[in-house]
Amino acid sequence: MRQKRVVVGRYGGPEVITVIEEEVPAPKAGEVRVKVLAAGVSLPDVLAREGVHPETPRAPYTPGWDLVGTVDGVGEGVTGVEPNRVVASMPIHGCYAQYVCLPWRKLVPVPEGLDAAEAVALVLNYITAYQMLHRSAKARPGQRMLVHGASGGVGTAMLQLAKLAGVEMFGTCSAQAAAVVQEMGGIPIDYKNADFVAEIRRLAGEGVDAVFDGIGGESLWRSREALVEGGRVVTYGFQSKMSGGRMASRSEGRHPFREGGELVGFVIRNWFKPGRKSMVPYSIQWMMRLRPKWFRQDLLTLLDLLKRGKIKPLIAERLPLEEARRAHEMLGAGGVFGKIVLLPNG
C-alpha cells in the first residue's frame, strides 16, 4: 500500500516543502501504526523549516508536531491497543503523512465522536495554553492577564481556558481580529494602533498578574511593564524574529540553540531589573519530557472539556496534505484566526 508524506528537503522558505509517495511504513516492535486523520500546522513547524527551532530535526525530515488518527496496525509486543481506536499524540515531527508509526506508550485515547481537527488543536495549542495558565502562572479566579497574539491558535485557546478559570483576559490583536477575541471572551487591544502597556494601565489600573508572550525579543521588557508587582511574564516563543513568514536574519542552515540561548539571556537579565516581576520560560516539549504524566493528564482533561462542549477550538482552515506549503505560507503571512489543520486522508 502506498502513502503520501510531506518532506522538508533543506532549511528555508515554504518552497522547500515537497510531497512524496512511498510504501506505508510497517510498525516495529513496541510501535503502533496510526492512520492520520488530522495533523496540526503551527509556528514551531515554520521555525523548524527555517532551521531555528530548538526541536529542528536534521534535513530531510517530515514536519508536524501533533496528530489525531486511528490505530491501523500494531507491532510486536504491543497489547491492549484496539484496531480503529482514535488516538492523539505529539511526536514533535513526522505528522504530515497519511500513516505514522509511533511508540504505543506515546498515544492518548480520544473519546469517540469528536471532530478530529478540533481534537488535534488541543494537543499542542490548548496544552500550551492550559499549562502556561495553570502550571506556570498559577491562575486564580479574579486575576487579570494578557496574552499576545490573542486571535491565533494558542491565543484563542488561552481566552477560552481563562474564561473557564474565572480570569479576566486581555489580548493583543489586529483591528480585524477584535471581534474574534471578544467572542472568545477576551478584551481586545489593537497592537497596531495603540500602546498595549498604556491600554493595560487604562483598563486594569496598576497592571495585570501575568503576560503570556510568544513574541520574544525586546517585547519581553514591554510585557514586563504591563505587570503588577509580583506578576510574571511567561515567555514561550520568539515570533519577533519572523518577517513575512521567514526569519528576519535569513541565515540559512540549522541553528537550533541560537534563539533559545537569547531567551535565556533575557531571563537572566530580568533578575537584575528593579521590582518583583519574574520571567518564566515555558516549553511544551520539555514539560512533556520532564513531566510526562502532566502532559497525559492535561490532554485528557482538555479532551473531556471538548466532549462536554466547554471549549470549542477555532479552526482557521482544513486543508489536504498536498497543500502543506500553502498552509505554511498562510501562517507565515499572519492574520490567521485559530488553527490550520491538514487532513491527510481526506
Last residue of a domain, one of 272, 287, 302: 287
We report the CATH number of the domain holding residue 64 as 3.90.180.10
Is the pLDDT at 3 greater than 90? The verdict is yes
Q: Which of 75, 100, 77, 97 is nearest to 89 (CA)?
A: 100
Question: 272 and 185: one domain?
Answer: yes
pLDDT at residue 80, rounded to an integer: 86
Contact 37, 84 (CB under 8 A): no
Q: How far apart are the first and last CA of the chain?
A: 17
| Rounded CA separation 210/150 (Å) | 14
Question: How does pLDDT run across 24-36, given as a tens digit for each residue?
Answer: 999 999 999 999 9
Question: 233 and 310: one domain?
Answer: no
Question: 50 and 153: one domain?
Answer: no
| Rounded CA separation 157/46 (Å) | 20
Q: Which of 82, 78, 49 is nearest to 63 (CA)?
A: 49
Question: 146 and 113: one domain?
Answer: no
Question: 313 and 192: one domain?
Answer: no
Question: How does pLDDT run across 97-111, given as a tens digit for each residue?
Answer: 999 999 999 999 999
Percent of the chain, pLDDT > 70?
Answer: 91
Question: How does pLDDT run across 109-137, given as a tens digit for each residue?
Answer: 999 999 999 999 999 999 999 999 999 99
Largest CA distance in the chain: 63
Question: 68 and 107: one domain?
Answer: yes
Question: How does pLDDT run across 269-281, given as a tens digit for each residue?
Answer: 776 677 789 899 9
User: Angle, to 10 degrees, between the axis of helix 324-333 and the axis of helix 43-50?
Assistant: 100
Question: 144 and 259: one domain?
Answer: yes
pLDDT at residue 246, rounded to an integer: 55
Question: How does pLDDT run across 288-308, given as a tens digit for each residue?
Answer: 999 999 999 999 999 999 999
DSSP 248-310: TT---S--TTHHHHHHHHHHHHHTTSSSS-EEEE--HHHHHHH-HHHHHHHHHHHHHHHHTTS
Mean pLDDT of 185-190: 96
The total number of structural domains in the chain stands at: 2
Question: How does pLDDT run across 30-83, given as a tens digit for each residue?
Answer: 999 999 999 999 999 998 998 888 899 999 999 999 999 999 999 999 988 899
Contact 89, 31 (CB under 8 A): no
Question: 115 and 126: one domain?
Answer: no
pLDDT at residue 241, rounded to an integer: 58
Question: How does pLDDT run across 141-162, given as a tens digit for each residue?
Answer: 999 999 999 999 999 999 999 9
Q: pLDDT grade, residue 182 (50/70/90)?
A: very high
DSSP-derived 3-state class of residue 204: helix
Q: What is the mean pLDDT of the chain?
A: 91
Give the domain extent around 242: 122-287
